[in-house]
């Protein structure tokens, strides 16, 4: 099999982008040291020069409707291949508008997430995928793993206030600990806006910062996205 792919990352949240849908072994592709290595595979196709359609899969092979870092990576790919600085990304969770900013970061309008549950110690938010958010003074990783294990349909975020930003640790459904999560950042901002008068925020993940701001028609997610390399599958990678 000869099949081209891109390896693209946003905050260390890395993806293999493959044109069109193929019955490849996603788990093998994503396995580090034995495959290409990634947090997920994203199949893509162009509907026009300013619209790209994507389909997200986690590293365990499970399907995902939305992925904020994946959206920014898709925008970066479209900019690389089509020269487009503004356009739309079509996903299982709907359409998302993006633009490449002057500082070369990528901004995506994530819409308005739905706060679906408020409990004493956590919040649940729907951003096209589900998030459970805990605001903590401190935490240990084993605590996060336990919450994720007991809530397998959710991405789990633990956040702490630190100086000028919030520090975030994220455990993603179908992947495990990742260095960043764009839909998680969007969910966190939507919760914090409910209880304080803020119009923008900086969140720091293990892979770096994400910036979020309020617009008239949704939350804008802003951060870097980089194409690492382009390659070719050789051999049999099909399931």
Q: Which of 30, 73, 165, 181 is catalytic?
A: 181
Q: Which residues are annotated as a binding site for substrate?
A: 13, 58, 68-69, 129, 155, 172-173, 182-183
8 A C-beta contact, residue 207 and residue 182: no
DSSP string, the chain: --EEEEEEEETTEEEEEEES---B-HHHHH-TTTSS--SEEEEEEEEETTEEEEEEEETTS-EES--HHHHHHHHHHHHHHH--SEEEEEETTEEEEEEE-TTS-EEEE----EEEEE-SS-EEEESSSEEEEEE-S---HHHHHHHHHH-TTSEEEEEEEETTEEEEEEEETTTEEES--HHHHHHHHHHHHHHS--SEEEEEETTEEEEEEEETTEEEEEE--EEEEEEEE-S--B-
8 A C-beta contact, residue 105 and residue 223: yes
User: Active-site residue 67, yes or no?
Assistant: yes
Q: Which of 30, 67, 73, 165 is catalytic?
A: 67
Q: Which residues are annotated as a binding site?
A: 13, 58, 68-69, 129, 155, 172-173, 182-183
Q: What is the C-alpha separation between 74 and 15, in angstroms, rounded?
A: 10
User: Active-site residue 73, yes or no?
Assistant: no
Tell me which residue has tokens 């959710």. Answer: 154
The residues carrying an active-site annotation are 67, 181
């Amino acid at each position: 099999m000869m099949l081209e792919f891109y390896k693209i990352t946003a905050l260390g949240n890395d993806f293999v982008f493959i044109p069109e849908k193929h019955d490849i072994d996603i788990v093998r592709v994503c396995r580090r040291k034995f495959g290409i290595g990634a947090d997920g595979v994203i199949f893509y196709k162009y509907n026009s020069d300013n619209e790209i359609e994507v389909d997200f899969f986690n590293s365990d092979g499970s399907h995902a409707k939305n992925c904020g870092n994946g959206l920014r990576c898709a925008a970066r790919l479209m900019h690389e291949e089509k020269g487009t600085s503004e356009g739309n990304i079509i996903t299982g969770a709907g359409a998302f508008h993006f633009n490449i900013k002057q500082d070369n970061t990528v901004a995506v309008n994530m819409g308005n997430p739905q706060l679906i549950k408020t409990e004493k110690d956590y919040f649940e938010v729907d951003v096209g995928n589900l998030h459970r958010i805990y605001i903590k003074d401190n935490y240990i990783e084993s605590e996060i793993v336990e919450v994720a294990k007991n809530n397998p349909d959710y991405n789990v975020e633990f956040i702490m206030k630190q100086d000028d930003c919030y520090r975030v640790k994220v455990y993603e459904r179908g992947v495990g600990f990742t260095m960043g999560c764009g839909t998680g950042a969007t969910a966190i901002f939507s919760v914090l806006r409910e209880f304080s008068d803020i119009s923008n925020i900086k969140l720091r993940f293990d892979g770096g910062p994400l910036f979020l701001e309020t617009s008239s028609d949704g939350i804008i997610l802003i951060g870097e996205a980089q194409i690492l390399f382009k390659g070719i599958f050789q051999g049999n990678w099909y399931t």
